A and B are shown apart, each in its own frame.
Chain A
Amino acid sequence: EAGVAQSPRYKIIEKRQSVAFWCNPISGHATLYWYQQILGQGPKLLIQFQNNGVVDDSQLPKDRFSAERLKGVDSTLKIQPAKLEDSAVYLCASSLAGAKLYEQYFGPGTRLTVT
């Protein structure tokens, strides 16, 4: 079974520029999550999708961050404009209701450096 795929793996941009990250969840997983992990901290949930609907975006800085999951499969997370404090690893995860209800599977992450 293929895991959660993310691209790019690394991105370096200057502040005030825009950037987008892509995630492809495990096939059949209805729920998709985006997390931000700042160096030395645990991941923090930014947004959670159930199919193509948002169920929790309470910690998403909506003035600069946006995310979509148009067809209920792939998802993109965008930052516009980026700030220095956005430097972090952005992790995508997915989960499937079933025997291991709500267990989340993580992708390798995208490491963003804002200079």
Chain B
Amino acid sequence: KQEVTQIPAALSVPEGENLVLNCSFTDSAIYNLQWFRQDPGKGLTSLLLIQSSQREQTSGRLNASLDKSSGRSTLYIAASQPGDSATYLCAVMLLLILTGGGNKLTFGTGTQLKVEL
């Protein structure tokens, strides 16, 4: 059974700091890994998607890396801003189509980030 762990559970940093969020997963047979952002009372917004054959993806101030063999991913946020305050979730996808299943996303419990002025 796939388990996804995110560390730390909560993080508070001053504005402008660079930071790293960590995600680890137990089953390396993943199809892809996604990082999401969730604002209070809102749904999930996809930030970055890394296919299993890729090592990293970048979007603006965000960079996500994937090391499938060790079961780890990191989300790097450069020059953090108060608007980055949110909960960040990572999720791994297993492709079950060959066995008659769907494409299953398993989520971590998230890292709650607060960027202070």
Contacts and interface: CB of A to CB of B under 8 A. Distances in A.
> Does A associate with B in a complex?
yes
Nearest to A42: B107
A102 B43 contact: no
Interface string B70-107: 00000000000000000001010101100011111111
Given A42-B89, A91-B43, A103 B109 contact: no
A57 B108 CA distance: 20
Contacts of A91: 43-44
Interface in A35-57: 40-45, 48, 50, 55-56
B110 A42 contact: yes
Interface residues of A, number: 26
A96 B41 CA distance: 25
Provide the main secondary structure of the chain B interface: strand
B36 to A, nearest CB: 8
Contact of A55 (B32, B44, B102): B102
Contact of B102 (A41, A48, A107, A111): A48
Contacts of A43: 44, 89, 105, 107
B44 A106 contact: yes
A104 B46 contact: yes
Nearest to A93: B44
A111 B41 contact: yes
B113 interface: no
A44 B106 CA distance: 7
Interface of A: 4, 31, 33, 40-45, 48, 50, 55-56, 91, 93, 95, 100, 102-109, 111
